[in-house]
Amino acid sequence: MSREPARARTAAPVAAVETRVARVPLRQVTSFATRQVSARDYVLVTVTDADGVQGRGFCYAGASGGEVVSAAVAALLGPVVAGRDPFGVERIWQDMYQEALLHGRTGSAMRALSALDIALWDHNARALGLPLHRLLGGFRAETVPAYASGGYYLDGKTPDDLGEELASYVAAGFRAVKMKVGRLSPAEEEERVAAARRAVGDGVLLMLDANNAWSDLPTALRTMDRLARYDPYWIEEPFGPDDIDNHARLAAAIRVPVATGEIEAGRWRHKELLERGAAAVLQTDAAVCGGITEFRRIAATAASFGVPLAPHWFHDLHAHLVAATPNCTFTEFFADDSVLNFRTLVDTQLAVRDGRLVLPAGPGLGFGFDADAVERHTVPGTPATVTA
């Protein structure tokens, strides 16, 4: 007896795309190797289909200038998404990329594209009643590995204070921690790293993040010669992102793995890092590189080179991607909102168990935007809505 093939249910099209900027001050001015930050701009995107199902996306837009990214959503890319079948993610991504081609294949345009792509994936998982990590493939089922990120420069913070901070993460169960380097002289940085290693012990992985601190190879080599004796797991972003040559030269000259890629966009640039031996670990950020859609392509490319990913920032998002991607090794986790103050804008925080992040069981990303917090921090004049 023959049967008629089942007909796929038509998805409700995207009826509206909303964007706004939330500017969240830091509780204390915080320093990196080359800059200070007193506030952060986050672009928040919501897509709503004709049945009322919503998806949420977001990106970090810097210490200022979130209006530029939000304008790219409202004026450039939101109209590409409105009226479309939200499950046609690959087609929508390609159309957004083509629309943004002349405005920038990195930076604000790609961050706007990333936020919209994340919102579509979140919508689709919610529409199906699945956690995002399940929809993406579910390689890991309950928890994902994580490292505790901190060790920033603060006025009056001593090496012993730094050690106490990192030791507190170990006490909370984390077996990997990260700290900043590169702002001070090689001797001063050695004092900080030595204090950190004493505090966490020999059995804990210690990552070092230079945030583009060095502009020449001799300075990087001189500093790493002092720091290598403390067994760092990696040195992150030693040079500016465009200085791929020096990344490759440093990687060839030292035994400490080089990690980079957190502000890179597109699979082609990541492929260049891999082909030139400039990164032993990619730190691809789905809210920067082109969204979840492009993150998956980059991860597959890296897997062909035998290179792992340890995605940058936004543990609420990247826990799902680490769970779904076999060659993802760590989620970067921030224990409070002193640095990653995006935490103040969401209504649910990830749970931690034995130094690992517990994957959400609810649909989509597993959190929503906290309406009161978002309203409190919204930059006047930025909310905008595109309708089909």
Using only C-alpha atoms, what is the Rg of the chain? Answer: 21
Q: Of 123, 133, 178, 180, which residue is the catalytic one? A: 180
Residues 6+ apart with CB under 8 A from 153: 30, 31, 32, 180, 183
Burial of 10 (0-12, 13-18, 19+ CB in 10 A): exposed
Pairwise CA distance, residues 371 & 46, whole Å: 12
Pairwise CA distance, residues 235 & 267, whole Å: 22
Catalytic (active site) residue 377: no
Token pair in block for residue 77 = 């890319």
Instruction: Determine contact, residues 270/298, Cβ cutoff 8 Å.
Output: yes
Q: Of 312, 315, 318, 320, which residue is the catalytic one? A: 312
Token pair in block for residue 242 = 């465009």
347 phi, psi to nearest 5 deg: -95, -5
Mutual orientation of helices 107-128 and 291-304 as an angle, nearest 10°?
100
Catalytic (active site) residue 312: yes
Q: For residue 43, give the nearest of 73, 6, 14 by alpha carbon.
A: 73
Catalytic machinery residues? 180, 312
